[in-house]
Amino acid sequence: MPIGSEFFKSLLDNFIDGVYFVDRDRTITYWNRGAERITGFAVEETVGTRCFDEVLLHIDASGTRLCHAGCPLAATIEDGEPREMEVFLHHKEGHRVPVLVRAAPIRDQIGTIIGALEVFSDNTPKMAALQRAHDLEKVAFLDPLTGLANRAFTEITLRARLEELVRYGWPLGVLFIDIDHFKEINDRHGHAVGDKALSIVANTLRAAARSFDLVGRWGGEEFVAVLVNVNDRKLAAIAERFVTLVASSRLPIDGSYTRVTVSVGATLADPRDTVAELVARADGLMYRSKETGRDRVTIGSRE
C-alpha cells in the first residue's frame, strides 16, 4: 500500500467515504473502514483480490456491468486522467447501493503510473430518507421488515397526490411491483430467506427511487411506487431502472447467490381515478408482465 506512515493509514481509515488502492493489474492493495461500511465487505475479503473479481460488480443505471468494460479505474490507469462517475455497487447483503466514484492515478517517484485509487461516497438521498423515516415512525406507518412506508401510509400518499392532480394538474404515476417466484423461494428455502429477498428488493427500490418519490410495501411480496412529475417517457424509464437494478441484485442462499427479479405494472393517473381504481389498473398491468415472461414492465393507461 503506497502510504508513507501509519499516520496516513489511520487518517484514511477514519474517512467516512470508501477509499481503496489498486495496482496496475487492479489488485486491491488497501481497503479502508469507510469502504467496509458502505459495501459490507471486510478488508480480509477484498485486499489481494482484483476489483473485478465478483466483489463490487459496478453497474450503471442501465444495468451495464462496468468491471470489464467502462471501468473508470482501468481507464485512469491507462491514460492517467482522473474520472468521476455515478454507479451502483453490489453490497455484500445483496442489494445495490448508489455511489459517486472518483478515480485518480498513483505514480511512482519518476511519474510512472503504478496503480490508481478510488474514493466512493454513498449517493443515497440520505437526508430525505432520514426525514421520511422520522415522519413515518411518528405516525406508526413504517413497515417493520423492509423499512419502507406501509400500505396505510402509501394509500394516504396516493390520495394526496391524486388530489394534487385534480386541483393543480400535477402529473402522477404509479408502479405496482411484485417479486417473481416468491412463493417458490419461501417454500424451498424457508421464510427467513423469503424475508431476506423482501429486504434486498426493498433496499434496491429505495436506492433507485428519486428522493421525492415514495416506495411502499403494499403487502406480502408486493410494492407500490408513487411517482410525481412524470410523463410516459419518465414513467417507463423509472420502471425499467427498478427492474434492471433488482435483477442485478443477488440473494445469498447457503453460501451461493441466486437472482431475484420483479414484474412491474406502470400507469399514469387520470383525474377520474380513485386510489382503488389506480392501484387495480397498475396491478392488472403487473399481471400482464407475469404472463409475458416476468422480469419486465407493462405500461398502460385508463381506457
The catalytic site residues sit at: 221
CB distance 179 to 262 below 8 Å: yes
Say if strands 214-219 and 96-107 run parallel, antiparallel, or are unpaired: unpaired
In the chain, what is the straight-line distance between the N-terminal and C-terminal CA atoms, in Å? Answer: 63
Long-range Cβ contacts of 193-197 (<8 Å, 24+ apart): 193/251, 193/253, 194/221, 195/145, 196/94, 196/251, 196/252, 197/221, 197/251, 197/260
How many Cα atoms within 13 Å fall on the side-chain side of residue 200?
30
